[in-house]
Structure 1
Amino acid sequence: RDAYAARLAEEASKFTLVHSELMAGINKILKFITYLMIPAGLLIIYNQLFSSGESLGPALSGMVAALVPMVPEGLVLMTSIAFAVGVVRLGQRQCLVQELPAIEGLARVDVVCADKTGTLTENGMRLAEIVPIDGADENTVRAALAAMAGDDPRPNASVAAIAEALPDDPGWGAATATAPFSSAKKWSGQSYGAHGNWLLGAPDVLLDPASDAARKAEEIGAQGLRVLLFAESDRPVEDEAAPGTVTPRALVVLEQRVRPDARDTLEYFAGQKVDVKIISGDNAVSVGAVASSLGLSNGDRPVDARTLPEDPDELAETVASATTFGRVRPDQKRAMVGALQSRGHTVAMTGDGVNDVLALKDADIGVAMGSGSPATRAVAQIVLLDNKFATLPHVVGEGRRVIGNIERVSNLFLTKTVYSVLLAFFVGVSGVLSQLFDFDPLPYPFLPRHVTIAAWFTIGIPAFLLSLAPNNERARSGFVPRVMRLAIPSGVIIGVATFVCYVLVYGGPEQTEQQKIQAGTSALITLIMIALWVLAVVARPYQLWKIVLLIGSVLGYVILFTVPFCREFFALDPSDLGYTTIAFVCGAVGVFLVEVSWWVTGRLHGEHRRLFAAPDDLLPGVH
């Protein structure tokens, strides 16, 4: 149980979920709505059953019409659909999302930590050159390299490239001792009895930094090439004192191909104010050469992780200021993620090896490569099945679409909840006051069918379309306050305007059934007018398809209020011109107040308001 692998597995198996500001915000909103519904619901129940004076049937209908729209029943559904569609879209790009909120999480990330190999460069390598040191026999070096590469039971990318270039077996037989490569010691070795003890590893670990061979390796690495030292040891590789005295025999130069999409990906993140940190186990100079060739900021000033401070505050300062790190140990990767998070950053970590597991687990979003280890893929929230770092901008774009669209949809549903609670509260209070001051209480103005059609073209259909639309707005924190800034004023305006209209047209209990329907229709016209304008505000900035959506919503209500069958089925009667005029006047005042509220809140909170989309907004996807 004390073994490193066992402890790693135990810690990685602890179950955690991605924090979703959207989900947490919606839960907070639903909890708040529940607290509002209890007193408003009790008031409307009391009014409809005990104060309104209506028979049981109409009283129950009014009570249902008041209580049902308080629940934003479609909000969670629309959120789930938006996330699910995002998962499908990313799946088409060979990106597997293992937790729905991970789409949102990556859109909020401001630091991406990535490895050089497999991120900036292709996974595969090619043996470019073998440079003998101090007159070493090249044939012997090639034979020893071929033997080591051929006998390695778990060849990494470097050994695989050597084996591909040197396929001929020298006939030395099986190795008498083997020391596998590890990230801690940075070398591997094999002993062949009389044929010697051979090492393959990092020059800056195995060599004296002041030696000519070390300087030569540094010069080659500065060109962006991977350089390994091939050396001979004076003792078997399994010896506790290994590697012992190291005699350099050759520098093995491996060529890595820079990914053609690497520069575009780095430029995308730079344009989005997302810092990219290259964290690699390779030589720092080599990593810096590749990073600077791709234009990464401060890539030409790499940091050797062996010089990193242990103090958390000092480490956080160093990691925040630099962008390229070489010779990073697995435990340092995890410490660097924690250091960035301690400075308030939202961190995404990419990796493919078992040693990356804990860093992926600690990061806000873990991204694994499809070719990585099973453990890495298991703990990651996102798996890039095609191993392309360039897929991440598409994940960011999809996350923005989900976040922006859910915010729009939330505005519509919560506006309905606010005005429903307010109407129920006003009508309920009127019932209480009628007992105290001896006047006729107001019944609830709407039937359940009125509530249904009020939501059809102001929320239901538009919310579904808006939740799936392209949206490239930058992800921002503060979801709940932003939604409330529109939903509460708009809901209050709709609730007050609708109640005022109903008070003006309601003629008391002596009204005929037809006059009651006319009064309810007038209040419904006021509500729909303002609710349609709220939809028009939420849909901004306008594009052609949004304008068509708004026109379609208006036409839908025109049909409902003008076609005789619809009017009869939904109990609508706008035939009283006096009532209808009052309804339109109240609706126009409400529309004006919603528009003013939108501009004023934008000015107060420094939000940029636009009526029409900029040219770039017309192009869906990632730029």
Structure 2
Amino acid sequence: VLRSAILASDGYVERVKGEEGHKEELIARGRPIEQALVFAGLSAGLSESVIRSEHPTIDLLPFDANRRFGGMLVLEKDAGMAYFSGAPEVFLSGSRKSNVETEHSASIFTQALNEATSASKRVIAVARVPWHKDHFPTDDALLKLVGRAKVIGLVTFADTIRKEAGVAVAQMQEAGARVVMATGDNKETAIVVARAVGIANANDIARTGAELADLSDDSLYELVMKDTVFARVTPADKLRIVRVLQNHGEVVAMTGDGVNDAPALKAASIGIAIGSGTDVAKDAADMVLLEDSFAVITDAIREGRRLRDNIKKVFTYLVATTFGGTFVIVTAFVFGFPLPILPTQILWTNLINGGPMNIAFAFEPLYPSAIKRSPRDFENARVLSPSVIKLILAVGLSTGLLLVGLFLFISKLGLPETEIRTMIFVGLSFDAIFTAVSLKSFGTPITQISFFSNRFLIVALLGSVFMIAIALFVPPVQFLLNTVPLSFRDIGILGLLGFADLFMVEFAKYIIYIRPVMRARSAIRV
């Protein structure tokens, strides 16, 4: 059976020179099923090249997803023999029982097919028929020839489900993406695999390509948004599903490895080919996965969410802390107060203290609150979103009001202007430090954030404290910034001010980010 399956396919093996210092490698060419066949042959001591030399090729019938079979016409004992392989239904359908030797044989094949598909295995049938012409017939004549072919046996393929596949699908669904399976395999195999990895539930069913043919585009869209498994679909079906989803405003990522996936890969918003797939699929795709793992796609989504979220943190932190200092200065000008902080002190706060923390935000890990946001959420679409603007205003105003309050309080104590400006300078620096700690995650309370999750931020925070100490106690820097040493009591008061600012930032996060999510989850439960 394996020898006949190899003869019926156009897969082959070639030797490829390895990198310097490495031996030659055997590379299989063809569709994934054909690659598996030729490698199985080598394991069984059947060389594809030797078989071809013993059975010279006369004509080739490439596999076609619409007719669901392919074949090879070879010379066997000085006569032509047509070998076919493809979907078992093509050769074992009710109208083609003559393809098997006896009714008993037919029942054996049917039982074997059912057992294999229920075990989530892919199955092809192999058949042959004498043909004494030098080329395959076409159209109806070809179907008649296939109708006379005798089934030799079934070949099963076990696609081992990777351990990380289920986790990757769950993470992708958690990220708000809808995962749909569209395969040319039979529906029994498709639904078993889909349930094993979490694409389908126990009560879900698999739809077939035949069921899609009579549906309008709107009806097909509703079906795809309700069901997640589609079996025995053709390349045209896959392409239509992609286009229908896109026409309804969906962003579609398509993964595939075969020639039949190429049209849908090309049309998708982003086509993702598997590294071990065919060259046609790779050429049609926008991206090729070097590792044949669905988890790579999930990791890419998570990394994208992390980078976007961290960019927002950098932007929010930079603008909010600058806004707080500006608010203090503008308030002083409006009410005719002395200048509360000098330009050099502001530059020191923004560049020396705040600069390293801005850079450190780029290394923040991904927090659950960010990955759970829906892709449709406007927060995920833009950096300067309404929520970010609200948070910037809230953080800037709270910092500014606290510093204005501090300025008015210490001004009434009759302290020298230099000491007042020093306290405002240190207060602004402390606020920047506490704000940075709070902004590690927009949607996660500080009580649930690991302080040690970003060692770069810890170094930046300690560096900021160290630079504040230099600004207060190193004479040359004191002269440059026009500062004076502060007592431990004054520093303690400014520390309490920083904690107050931390509370205000956390309250703003709760109102803008956390509470809406909690309400949405409560509504779903109800």
Q: Same fold (TM over 0.5)?
A: yes
- Which of 219, 223, 226 aligns to 1:321? It is 226
Map Cα deviations across residues 196-224 of structure 1 (whole Å, 9 max, x no partner).
33322223345535655584575243332
CA distance in 1, matches of 2:316, 2:274: 37
Q: CA deviation at 1:268?
A: 4.4
| 1:325 partner SS | strand
Alignment-mate amino acid for residue 568 of structure 1? F
Map Cα deviations across residues 552-590 of structure 1 (whole Å, 9 max, x no partner).
533431332122232123332357x9xx97x99799668
The answer on 1:464 being equivalent to 2:375 is no
CA distance in 2, matches of 1:608, 1:151: 56
- Which of 31, 38, 41 aligns to 1:156? It is 31
Distance 1:378 1:188, change over 3 A: closer
> Which residue is 2:500 aligned to?
592
CA distance in 1, matches of 2:470, 2:361: 23
CA distance in 2, matches of 1:554, 1:199: 76
The answer on 1:174 being equivalent to 2:56 is yes
Q: CA RMSD in A?
A: 4.2
Q: CA deviation at 1:256?
A: 1.8
Distance 1:529 1:269, change over 3 A: closer
| 2:158 partner SS | strand
> Which residue is 1:70 aligned to?
none
Number of positions where the alignment pairs a residue of Structure 1 with one of Structure 2: 451
Instruction: Specify every segment of 5 or more residues in structure 2 that has no aligned partner in the other structure, as ranges.
Output: 14-28, 98-105, 380-384, 441-445, 519-526
Q: CA deviation at 1:493?
A: 3.1
> Which residue is 1:553 aligned to?
464
> Which residue is 2:18 aligned to?
none
CA distance in 2, matches of 1:172, 1:367: 39
CA distance in 2, matches of 1:481, 1:210: 64
> Which residue is 1:3 aligned to?
none
Distance 1:444 1:544, change over 3 A: closer
| 2:148 partner SS | strand
- Which of 265, 269, 277 aligns to 1:372? It is 277
> Which residue is 2:437 aligned to?
536
CA distance in 2, matches of 1:456, 1:501: 23
The answer on 1:306 being equivalent to 2:202 is no
Map Cα deviations across residues 275-310 of structure 1 (whole Å, 9 max, x no partner).
432221222222223334455424772221222144
- Which of 417, 425, 431 aligns to 1:524? It is 425
Map Cα deviations across residues 460-506 of structure 1 (whole Å, 9 max, x no partner).
22222232132332332343233223211121233455466668889
Distance 1:297 1:429, change over 3 A: same
Contact 1:419 1:492 in 2 (8 A): yes
Distance 1:591 1:489, change over 3 A: farther
CA distance in 1, matches of 2:394, 2:209: 54
Contact 1:350 1:367 in 2 (8 A): yes
Q: TM-score, normalised by structure 1?
A: 0.61
Distance 1:381 1:169, change over 3 A: closer
Does 266-275 or 468-477 show the bigger shift? 266-275
CA distance in 2, matches of 1:365, 1:272: 17
Greater relative contact order (CA < 8 Å, ≥ 6 in sequence): 1
Distance 1:395 1:202, change over 3 A: same
Distance 1:420 1:348, change over 3 A: farther
Q: CA deviation at 1:412?
A: 0.7
Q: CA deviation at 1:526?
A: 3.5
Q: CA deviation at 1:319?
A: 1.5
CA distance in 1, matches of 2:345, 2:303: 36
- Which of 119, 124, 127 aligns to 1:228? It is 124
CA distance in 2, matches of 1:572, 1:242: 97
| 1:383 partner SS | strand
> Which residue is 2:184 aligned to?
281
| 1:169 partner SS | helix
CA distance in 2, matches of 1:143, 1:354: 24
Contact 1:334 1:362 in 2 (8 A): yes
Contact 1:231 1:248 in 2 (8 A): yes
CA distance in 1, matches of 2:200, 2:355: 47
CA distance in 2, matches of 1:414, 1:357: 46
> Which residue is 1:568 aligned to?
479
> Which residue is 1:126 aligned to?
none
Contact 1:229 1:252 in 2 (8 A): yes
> Which residue is 2:253 aligned to?
348
Contact 1:414 1:487 in 2 (8 A): yes
Contact 2:242 2:252 in 1 (8 A): yes
CA distance in 2, matches of 1:372, 1:151: 13
Alignment-mate amino acid for residue 607 of structure 1? R
Q: CA deviation at 1:315?
A: 0.9
Q: CA deviation at 1:350?
A: 1.5
Contact 2:169 2:179 in 1 (8 A): yes
> Which residue is 1:254 aligned to?
156
| 2:288 partner SS | strand
> Which residue is 1:114 aligned to?
none
Contact 2:183 2:190 in 1 (8 A): yes
CA distance in 1, matches of 2:418, 2:197: 71
The answer on 1:237 being equivalent to 2:136 is yes
CA distance in 2, matches of 1:532, 1:293: 48
Distance 1:532 1:147, change over 3 A: closer
The answer on 1:452 being equivalent to 2:382 is no
Q: TM-score, normalised by structure 2?
A: 0.70
Distance 1:143 1:588, change over 3 A: closer
- Which of 37, 45, 67 aligns to 1:185? It is 67
Alignment-mate amino acid for residue 320 of structure 1? M
Taking the TM superposition and a 5 Å limit, the aligned residue runs for 1:417-436 are: 417-419=322-324, 422=327
Map Cα deviations across residues 70-117 of structure 1 (whole Å, 9 max, x no partner).
xxxxxxxxxxxxxxxxxxxxxxxxxxxxxxxxxxxxxxxxxxxxxxxx
Does 243-252 or 366-375 show the bigger shift? 366-375
| 2:64 partner SS | coil
Q: CA deviation at 1:454?
A: 0.6
CA distance in 2, matches of 1:269, 1:257: 21
> Which residue is 1:394 aligned to?
299
Q: CA deviation at 1:266?
A: 3.8
Alignment-mate amino acid for residue 237 of structure 2? Q
CA distance in 1, matches of 2:332, 2:416: 19
| 2:230 partner SS | strand
